[in-house]
Amino acid sequence: MYSSGLTQQLQSATSHWLSKIIQQSFIDTPEECQQLRKILQFHEYRYYILNEPLVSDYEYDQLYKLLQRSEEKNPLLITPDSPTQRVGSSLNSQFTTVSHLVPMLSLDNSYNADDLTDFDRKARELTGLDEIEYCIEPKFDGASISLIYEQDQLVRAATRGDGVEGEEITNNIKQIRSIPLSASFSSFGIQQVEIRGEVIMSKSSFDQYNQLQASRNLPPLANPRNAASGSLRMKDPKDVAERGLDAFLYHISFYTKESNNPAAASPLLDTHGGNLSLLWELGFRSPEKEKKVVKGIQGVIDYCTAFEAGRDDLPYEIDGMVVKVNDLHLQEKMGMTSHHPRWAIAFKFKARQATTKLRGIEFQVGRTGAVTPVAKLDPVYLGGVTVSSISVHNEEYIKEKDLKIGDTVLIERAGDVIPQIVKSMPELRTGTEENILFPKNCPVCSSLLFKEETEAVWRCINIECEAQVVERIIHFVSKDAMDIKSFGEANVRKFYELGLLKDIPGIYTLDFDKIGVLEGFGKKSLDNLRTAIEASKQQPLYRLIYGLGIRFVGETTAKTLANAVEHLLDYQTKTEEELQQLEDVGIKVAKSIYQFFSNDQNIQMLKQLESLGLQLKNTKKENGGSGSLQGQTFLFTGTLTQLKRSEAEAMAEAHGGQILSGVSNKLNYLVVGEDAGSKLEKAKKINSIKIISEAEFLQLVAAQ
Ligand code: IVH
């Protein structure tokens, strides 16, 4: 898509614009706007399609904002394919029905090697050939879409609907960054084109989104497929953007040629594999890297088998492979039935659904007192693991799924995603099933449970409830919080049960003599534990705040809170209104923070932690306002010997520095370790960059 010459050209244009931003707040000419758009499109391609960004998110944002400001000032400069036009589209009040240019057919299915051999036999009969060339690619597990480009611009996107008519969802599709808003089909002599593909949600986006749902007390999405298809019909495109969707485009279903354009004769237009390359060339995420072209059915069987074995390692869900006759002229000859083409077949992987019996419900109390019902099941083997318990979230969820003890339930595990109950099977009931009764009292401390009107969750509000105390300590020592290595969940539970640990400050007053006599605690593990606890006292304030487990305060809010005061206890005097002034802090979050700091027990605990040596001061502020490396940018390259890369970066950031992802004239310091490569070469060409060693970096930090 971008030759190395063009890449270099765009990268140096990037540096040019980045250096100009300081003096220039707007650009006025259509030509310069167009150049900036090209640069932004290039960086989107590097980021979303290749996964190899050349600029930091910050630098991208600077350029994006420059374009946005300029377009806002002079709307005549806006073009429909401008990166700014992805966001800010209006609400979809309703979705209009549109006809597909070519019906979106479904695929016939196969389940084993015999089915594939059968398919090949029929294909050879239909074509009269001895051997057929096939193109094989993954069968993406998402929601199918059709896109129409005219004169290189994306003009319409639609859902599959009934295959003949779908719903127009252009605004929502524009939120998906891997779908280009314009693509140079004209360079292949193509005037109008309809392409098909699948909108998917990667496993990591799915997990992230469900974490967000949990932090908002909303039920999780069932699986990435539902998540993707549900997203396409959302009313507000901003909600679509939040879901981090992606799209694979795998089929050119229709195109018209520009008359008399010799480019329309490209050999890429003759085969399916060629079509995938053409889409890739034009900047689409087609399965170019995942496809395989083979002659004869044995190669097809081998590739499908190998792909199924590696299925869990993919970053997204697939439910099988699609086998297509590669030659498009042969495809045409073979034709289609009313349901599916005769030139393609889906090879479905083994199902990851199973049925089992729901034997009981256990109620678990979490760190915030939330009582979560967990279904206990007859163990069943599913997608590589044995499943015997599954969270059923809350009372409403149980009602919605119509679950009773003794029911047969259908469960599903999609890849490495947590298993879910898909549904109960009331038709198999015998009459002996029992209703699930939600407890009125905490199953651990017996206090009365409470439920707020706006919430689905019942809570134990006794903050001394044992279950909550243990969960709070586990959270405090966890990796993203105080990161006390070699502590871990099992040790917290063990020490708590033995009466050696009863609250968070207790971590810092542990009796190592008593722990030393426990089984499994030799001198070395004891030393490791002691060192890790000691080291955690120096953790930055935001980690401590996050570790306190204040409801709705995730890592980002913890960072905001840490930066906004001189000392953590300053929050005792802040009102809810003042807290709401902070970034990302809404009414609910402010209320929760306010309640935390109004509670005397919490304040006593914080004072105790400070007296035990923990850092409650905002050290960045102490260092002269906002960090002594404030305003300086850093990039580390090569192998460092004294620090890990992540440690060095954290150190620079802790002193107010900013980390860049690539060499540009925005960079102040390149810190060079052993075997540094192209970044060093590039930095040497930019005079303003100071090239320093790891030792010099440490001196720089120490000198501040
Ligand atoms: S080709 C006429 N290729 O599977 C050919 N479909 O069960 C149409 N799908 O509706 C489809 N990955 O939503 C094709 N690589 C792929 C696919 C794929 C997923 C979906 C598509 C289709 C369904 C059929």
Question: For each successive 10 residues of the chain (704 residues), what is the average pLDDT?
Answer: 89 87 80 92 87 81 88 87 72 77 88 94 95 97 94 95 89 92 94 96 86 77 80 83 90 88 80 97 96 97 94 88 97 88 92 87 94 93 78 92 95 72 92 95 95 89 91 94 91 94 96 91 90 92 94 86 92 95 86 94 95 87 57 86 80 79 84 87 89 88 72
Which two structure tokens, joined as six digits, stand for 176?
Answer: 């998906």
Q: What is the DSSP string of 133-186?
A: EEEEEEEE-SEEEEEEEETTEEEEEEE-TTSSEEEB-HHHHTT-TTS-SB--GG
The residues annotated with a catalytic role in the active site are: 139
User: Are 564 and 557 spatial neighbours (Cβ–Cβ below 8 Å)?
Assistant: no
Q: Kindly give the distance from the C-alpha atom of residue 139 to the centroid of ligand 1, in angstroms, as a whole number.
A: 6
List helix spans (H) across 28-97. 30-44, 57-73
Query: Does residue 291's CB lie within 6 angstroms of at least one atom of ligand 1?
Result: no
Q: Kindly give the distance from the C-alpha atom of residue 555 to the centroid of ligand 1, in angstroms, as a whole number.
A: 39
Query: Does residue 574's CB lie within 6 angstroms of at least one atom of ligand 1?
Result: no
User: Is 166 exposed, middle or buried (CB count within 10 Å of its CB: 0-12, 13-18, 19+)?
Assistant: buried
Locate tokens 């090209």: which residue? 38
- Report the length, in residues, of the chain: 704
Beta carbons within 8 Å of 291's beta carbon, 6+ residues apart:
135, 136, 137, 273, 276
Q: Is 58 a known ligand-binding residue?
A: yes
User: Are 695 and 679 spatial neighbours (Cβ–Cβ below 8 Å)?
Assistant: no
Q: How many CB atoms lie within 10 A of CB 236?
A: 14
C-alpha 174/C-alpha 241 separation (Å) is 9
User: Are 637 and 601 spatial neighbours (Cβ–Cβ below 8 Å)?
Assistant: no
Q: What are phi and psi of 70, to 5 degrees?
A: -65, -40
Tell me which amino acid residue 91 is. L
Query: Does residue 144's CB lie within 6 angstroms of at least one atom of ligand 1?
Result: yes
User: Are 282 and 1 spatial neighbours (Cβ–Cβ below 8 Å)?
Assistant: yes
Q: Is 160 a known ligand-binding residue?
A: yes
User: Are 278 and 203 spatial neighbours (Cβ–Cβ below 8 Å)?
Assistant: no
C-alpha 198/C-alpha 210 separation (Å) is 21
Q: In the chain, what are the helix, strand and coil shares in percent, each to the nearest 5?
A: 40, 20, 40
Query: Does residue 137's CB lie within 6 angstroms of at least one atom of ligand 1?
Result: yes
| Listed residue (689, 665, 684, 688) closest to 16, CA to CA | 665
**In terms of DSSP bridges, do strands 669-672 and 690-693 run parallel, antiparallel, or are they unpaired?**
parallel
Distances (CA, A) of 96 to 163, 232, 240, 442, 647: 15, 13, 18, 50, 53
Query: Does residue 280's CB lie within 6 angstroms of at least one atom of ligand 1?
Result: no
Q: Kindly give the distance from the C-alpha atom of residue 107 to the centroid of ligand 1, in angstroms, as a whole number.
A: 7
3-class secondary structure, 262: helix
Distances (CA, A) of 561 to 78, 473, 555, 570, 571: 38, 21, 10, 11, 9
User: Are 605 and 504 spatial neighbours (Cβ–Cβ below 8 Å)?
Assistant: yes
C-alpha 614/C-alpha 537 separation (Å) is 5
Mutate to test the pocket of ligand 1, among 100, 136, 144 (most ligand atoms within 8 A of CB): 144
User: Is 40 exposed, middle or buried (CB count within 10 Å of its CB: 0-12, 13-18, 19+)?
Assistant: buried
C-alpha 164/C-alpha 385 separation (Å) is 40
Tell me which amino acid residue 98 is. V
C-alpha 318/C-alpha 303 separation (Å) is 14
Residue 314 Ramachandran class (φ > 0 left, ψ -120 to 50 alpha, else beta): beta
Instruction: List, in sequence order, every beta strand (DSSP E) within 401-514.
Output: 408-412, 420-424, 449-450, 459-460
The pLDDT value given to residue 625? 43
The DSSP letter of residue 450 is E
Locate tokens 């109950």: which residue? 421
The pLDDT value given to residue 639? 86
Nearest residue (CA) to ligand 1, atom 17: 139
Q: Is 125 a known ligand-binding residue?
A: no
The DSSP letter of residue 666 is T
Q: How many CB atoms lie within 10 A of CB 501?
A: 24
Q: What are phi and psi of 283, to 5 degrees?
A: 100, 10
Nearest residue (CA) to ligand 1, atom 13: 144
Which two structure tokens, joined as six digits, stand for 168?
Answer: 């127009």
Locate tokens 């096939």: which residue? 134
Question: For the whole prediction, is pTM greater than 0.75?
Answer: no
C-alpha 547/C-alpha 196 separation (Å) is 46
Which two structure tokens, joined as six digits, stand for 67?
Answer: 């374009």
163 HSE (CA, 13 A, CB side) = 8
C-alpha 607/C-alpha 568 separation (Å) is 10
The pLDDT value given to residue 622? 43
C-alpha 65/C-alpha 549 separation (Å) is 35
Tell me which amino acid residue 228 is. A
- Cross-strand bridge partners of residue 409: 356, 424
The pLDDT value given to residue 620? 61
3-class secondary structure, 567: strand
The pLDDT value given to residue 668? 92
Mutate to test the pocket of ligand 1, among 104, 106, 107 (most ligand atoms within 8 A of CB): 107
Query: Does residue 247's CB lie within 6 angstroms of at least one atom of ligand 1?
Result: no
Q: Kindly give the distance from the C-alpha atom of residue 429 to the centroid of ligand 1, in angstroms, as a whole number.
A: 37
The ligand 1 atom at the shortest distance from the C-alpha of residue 141 is 19
User: Are 616 and 569 spatial neighbours (Cβ–Cβ below 8 Å)?
Assistant: yes
